[in-house]
Every structure is written in structure tokens, then in C-alpha cells.
Structure 1
Amino acid sequence: MDPESWGPTWRKWDGIDAAEAEARGIYAPVSALSDGAPGAVVIAPGDIRGTRLIPEKRGGACCGLDGADGPNVACLACGSAMATRIDDCSLWQAVWLAPGAVRSLSVGLRRVGPGPFRHALVRLPAARSPWVRTLLENLAQQRFPTIF
């Protein structure tokens, strides 16, 4: 979660009052200033489900989505705009979830025991080599018994 006002949408520097920029801790001109809401959650594009892109909110990017037009991802169930996806050639791929449109829920994650990991290592081709198997066995017995 980003506590600062950061992320899409962006306002050009010539449209920003000097007092507003100074209140945000910006004292020298920058190309644009974020107009995003504080508290946005940023996730990878592959981690979002049950959504669709809003093509007419593509933004001004040359090759993809830049978030300049604000939220460009909608909920499949209700159709409400709820996030901004950024996916252009010069930008990091990210999905900024709008703080007023989403909420977090605990999903009860649990840690998997060491058994599945140990058995997966044995099936790897490299672990079939005698020297790698010896190394793994030594590590398991001496230093890292909970890992292997």
C-alpha cells in the first residue's frame, strides 16, 4: 500500500499551482504530478481476477496503457471502474487498485510443510546427479533440516 498520493492519474506541471506542489514536498518543476488517491495498493497485472480492460481509457501511450485517463480496469460483476493498469514500453507493468473501490480480505494463507519441497527437488534432473544429491543430503542433515 502506498500512503502517499502516487500513481495515476497524472497532471502536467503547467496545470499545477506552486503552493500545491510545495505542500506535497515538490519544490522544482517535474513533468507531471500524481493525482492518485493515497492508500492505493499496487499489484502485478497477473494477480488480478474478475476484471476487464476499458479500451476507451487507454491513455496517451505509444504502445500500451499508461493510465493517463484514470481507471481503465472494471469489475466484471458490476462494471465499476476499480483500478488503473499501466503496461507501456517505458513503464513498469502494474495495476493500481483504487482505494475507494476495493477492500482487502484475509484469505487464511498457510505455510506448506517441507515434505513437498523435498520430493520436488528429488524429481529435478539436476538432483539426480550423485554430487548434487550428496550436497542436498548433507545440507538436510546438518544445517537446514526444515527446508529439505
Structure 2
Amino acid sequence: MKRTFLAIGMLATAAALLTGCETTPRDTGAYVPVNTTVNDLENHTTIVLMDPRVQISVTCSGIQQRTLPDGRLEVTANLRNRENRRIQVQASCVFKDEQGFPTEGESVWHNVILTENGQDAVTFTAMNTKAKKYTIRIREAH
């Protein structure tokens, strides 16, 4: 019995010593983007709610878009509080060209206080005439 355990122990030790360490080859080079269509609502919709609590509390009952006489785009979103309590959210707008690329930096975040079951309009104006599309972003105010 002792010889069997001794033989098994010697075989295990020899296997461990002779096997060596396996190293993962270092991968370098260019990579293809992964999950390019996951969570890309900002590329396809005009309004996005940025966190779960806002998704429960806020909805947009309408968006009005118009071109000003000087050629700039103006967008007004009618935000509605779905809860029976007063809430504060923040809204910003990213104006984009025909291909969906931003034409300017993101607008500042506007604080919007929505009364119980109330509505409020938020207006954004593009800084230049390149804007043809937009995405309004709503997040929880901290």
C-alpha cells in the first residue's frame, strides 16, 4: 500500500515538474468593435431616459421641432411627471448633423422641477446651422 502511494506521489511530482507553465500568447493588433448595437438608443431616438428611476417617473408627451429664421434648430420637449410627488430632473440636448455626429458640444444640463403629475416644457436651441437631428437626455438630479 505504501509503495502504491509512493509511486502515485512520485508520478504526480514528476508530472508537475515536467509540465511547466502554460503562458497565454500575447495578442496584439487591431480589434473589431464589440456590441456596437447594444445600448445605442441615443443614435436612434430623439429622447432617452438615462437611469431607471427616471424611466419610472418621467415621460415625454411630445416634442416640437422648428427651424429658426437664421437656420438654427430649436427643439422643445414636453416632460410629464408620472408620479404623485414633486421630482427634480436634469435635461440636456445633443445636436447632430445628418449623419448623426455631434455638431457642437453637449448643452448644459437644465434643472427641471416637475410638480405632482405635472408637465413642463424644456427648450434647446442649436448654436449653429449644421444641426439636423438631436437627442434629448433626461437624468436624475443629484
TM-score range, shorter chain: under 0.3
Larger CA Rg, structure 1 vs 2: 2
Greater per-residue helix proportion: 1
